[in-house]
Amino acid sequence: MTQQLDLFADLQPAPARPQPKAPVTFAAKPSRSTAPSSPAPRPAKKQPSTPARPRTISVCPASDPHAQAMQVGEAVAGAWHRQHGGNHTHVPIGIVAALSLIGQKDPNGPDLATQILSLNDTNLIGMYREIWSTHWIRRPDLIDRARILHEWLNDTDIDKNRISAVRAVTEAALKNGLLTLTGYADPYLRSMTDVLSPVMMLLRSRGAQQGLGEFHTPASVAGAMAEVVNFSAVVDFLVAAPEAGRPRPGQHIHDPAGGSGGLLRAAAQNLREKGLDPADFQWSMCDIDEIAAACAAVNAIVWGLGPRVTVACADTLANPRAIEEAARHARAVIEHRDSILGKAKIIASVRQAQQLLDQAPECAA
């Protein structure tokens, strides 16, 4: 399994320290683990290269990515509750988020999903720890914002009941086509839907949804709205200044009540359809719900939004400076990462020097 698990560390060199309001990033290179049916083609302005069809186990081709995402959400929620996972819904959401961040090194090698499901309990938990820790090195600002989704892995002793629930959720996500939604190298193709949104909504009780004011719009309703309303015009307004006829690299795209980032995803897709790269723009969003903001942070990596992404968790009506405060916190997290890595390099250098001294022949008296 280790040989096939690609944490995308080789996708690009370590990011440079960001400018203010510009946290670092790296574009995720998802797994090639099973193929959905051909997604809607991109406009002629920017045709993506045809990706190798990924493979996965027991999955029907996904002609409708939104419906496939809902199927994953239903399967994950059902598996979690059947295993009596309880109210800690951040755990199954974190599992789906982690699986969305991984890829398969060799598309012709052993199937990644099959390898994951064959892991014993210790190695399965170890894999999830490795996914989050590796991505923290690359994107500490976003992974720190997603802390609620992975901090349960810090427990030294995870009980058998939780491990059983983790395994059930892992199997439900993989067998119901999660990697068919996140398994493309092209970020346009892996941004066809927001898989974390239905997972989050379906795991929450109706009362919790009403209390937080969060509801997932079914794909059929969204499709009907798209036929009645020119949604692309709404996205055009979001990504372009009123006086500009075309979005310009460097512009700031912001959603003050972003949920898990669905509107930013649509805006990013709209930019790609115009032949533009979302990584050339600045992105920010805020949501009052900690889990929703965590999902948005993970989605920013999955969707390849680029190096300048800020995700805040606050009430923007009560705190209009939430994005600025989140950007300052992100810079502090990056500095902390740099400090830790710097110390680690010093320790490694000292150990290497000591090894060389130990191997050197003794000097003649």
Residue spans of the domains in the chain: they are 26-45+55-327
pLDDT of residue 150: 98
Q: Which two tokens stand for residue 297?
A: 């942070």
Coil/strand/helix, residue 285: strand
pLDDT of residue 225: 38
pLDDT of residue 55: 40
Cα-to-chain-centroid distance, residue 51:
20
pLDDT of residue 172: 97
Coil/strand/helix, residue 96: helix
Cα-to-chain-centroid distance, residue 135:
10
Low-confidence ranges of the chain (pLDDT < 50): 3, 8-40, 45-61, 207-212, 217-234, 237, 241, 363-365
How does strand 309-313 pair with strand 5-6?
unpaired
pLDDT of residue 348: 84
pLDDT of residue 139: 96
Q: 320-329 long-range contacts, Cβ below 8 Å, gap at least 24? A: 322/286, 323/254, 323/284, 323/286, 324/21, 326/145, 326/284, 326/286, 327/20, 327/21, 327/23, 327/284, 329/144
pLDDT of residue 205: 62
pLDDT of residue 186: 84
What's the predicted TM-score (pTM) here?
A: 0.77
pLDDT of residue 53: 39
Q: What are phi and psi of 5, to 5 degrees?
A: -75, 115
